[in-house]
Amino acid sequence: MAFDAESGISDEALLVLYANGDAEAARALTQRLAPRVLGFAARMLGGDLAEAEDVAQEAMLRLWRIAPEWRQGEAKVSTWVFRVASNLCTDRLRKRRGVALGELGADPADDSPGAEARLQAASRAEALEAALQDLPERQRQAVVLRHLEGLYNPEIAAVMEISVEAVESLTARGKRALAKALTGRRAELGYDDG
């Protein structure tokens, strides 16, 4: 049976189907989860795409391995994968601590006609990435999960293995620090101050 990434069937149901030998379920889960885990890992690792791909691949591999023993109803599949990816990112950040963070891979320059809006969006994204990298790791993680990956606070609490209150505190502090850092970029991005 074919499932596309948007079909109504839950991640958990797909994982059970996968464990029972359904090849299409693996494809749908990959399409749903791999891009999100990659985006999260890239932001946690300072835009290093090659390393983020390694993390995404490893997190997905661990999901395939746990599939036969998956206990239904205990955790959300996406939360579980984010938690694995989060731990993998933390390990890698620890290993390279002291080494300068990589530059964000994408070059926002775009010379094509009518590209002003795209250029501006790309500049904003770049400014955000730079500001995110200056946040303490836990704040960055909470802000990325909340505002870029769209997870709810209880899910983030499960990913980070902390309380919901701690998540709220981390995201609030992270947002304040981002607002402060990005205020200086507002003028150069062409915004009004008002």
Partner 1 sequence: MMMAEMRDDELELFFEAGRAAAPAPSEALMERVLAEAQAQQAPRAQTPARPAAARGAWAGLLAALGGWPAVTALAAVAVAGIWLGYASPGELDGLTAALWPGQGGYDVVDMIPSYDGLLGEG
CB 146 within 8 A of CB 153: yes
Report the alpha-carbon distance of residue 34 to residue 36 in Å, rounded. 6
Amino acid, single-letter form, for residue 150 = G
Which tokens hold the place of 28?
A: 């749908």
Give start and end residues of each alpha helix (H) in 75-163.
77-95, 116-133, 137-143, 153-160
Measuring CA to CA, how many Å separate 192 from each of 122, 185, 187? 18, 11, 7
Is 137 a binding residue for partner 1 by CB under 8 A? The answer is no
Q: Which of residues 30-59 bind partner 1 (CB under 8 A)?
A: 30-31, 34-35, 38-39, 42, 49, 52-53, 56-57
Binding map of partner 1 across residues 6-35, x = CB under 8 A, - = no contact: ------------xx-x-x--xx-xxx--xx
Nearer to partner 1, 30 or 87 (CB): 30
Is 121 a binding residue for partner 1 by CB under 8 A? The answer is yes
Q: Which residues bind partner 1 (CB under 8 A)?
A: 18-19, 21, 23, 26-27, 29-31, 34-35, 38-39, 42, 49, 52-53, 56-57, 60-61, 64-65, 67-68, 105-106, 121-122, 124-129, 131-132, 147-148, 150, 175, 178-180, 182-184, 186-187, 191, 193-194
